[in-house]
Amino acid sequence: MQLMKVAITGPESTGKSTLSEQLARHYHTEWCPEYAREYLLKHGKKYSYDDLLVIAKEQIEMEKEFESRVKRKNSGISGKQLLFVDTEMYVMKVWCEFVFNKCHKYVLDQIAERKYDLYLLCNIDLPWVKDELREYPDLETRRKLYSIYKDIMINQSVPWADISGDHDQRLKKAIKAVDRLLSK
């Protein structure tokens, strides 16, 4: 069985977790949640540059754990197993650079080392939803962050799809992109 990983990426409050969960349900597989949320809920919203390194390392460990879970299930679609990853190292890179104007070498090394088969870039066209952890409600900052993510997608070699619209439209677009990946 071949494990195929789909990374869901993009700015905060763009439906990454919702989409990850919906896709995992649709394809009867697992999704790896975002560790940052767990960390910040436990340690508080005030974080340092070094906290982002801790978050990045734990995110990678969680992803490895979920990879193992999927492989142990030994089920899939035509010899292929899927894992959906809510938040990967591009998110950590953007977060480090946007807030602290620098990025941990570990994050950059993991970007080079970790391989994904598809990226789904969540657009900012969903309404921003306030919660205790989100930082950027203003549209201008959200546009700037989305532009950073889109530039990253354009300048890397893995296929990617822009995911926009309401939650139903997003799911349909994401399924179409994943089905294209599975048909290869």
Residue 134 pLDDT? 62
Could you tell me the residue ranges of all domains in the chain? Answer: 2-182
Q: Which residues of 19-58 are buried (b: 16+ CB within 10 A; e: fewer)?
A: bbebbbeebebbbbbbbbbebbeeeeeebeeeebbebbbe
* Mean pLDDT of the region 34-40: 91
Q: What tens digit of pLDDT does each residue of 126-159 get?
A: 877 666 666 666 778 889 999 999 999 999 999 9
Q: Say if CB 132 and CB 45 are below 8 A apart.
A: yes
Which range has the worst mean pLDDT, 87-101, 125-139, 169-183? 125-139
Cα–Cα distances in angstroms (integers) from residue 104 to residues 5, 41, 49, 100, in the given order: 24, 22, 9, 10
Out of 3.40.190.10, 3.40.50.150, 3.40.50.300, 3.30.559.10, the CATH code matching 2-182 is 3.40.50.300
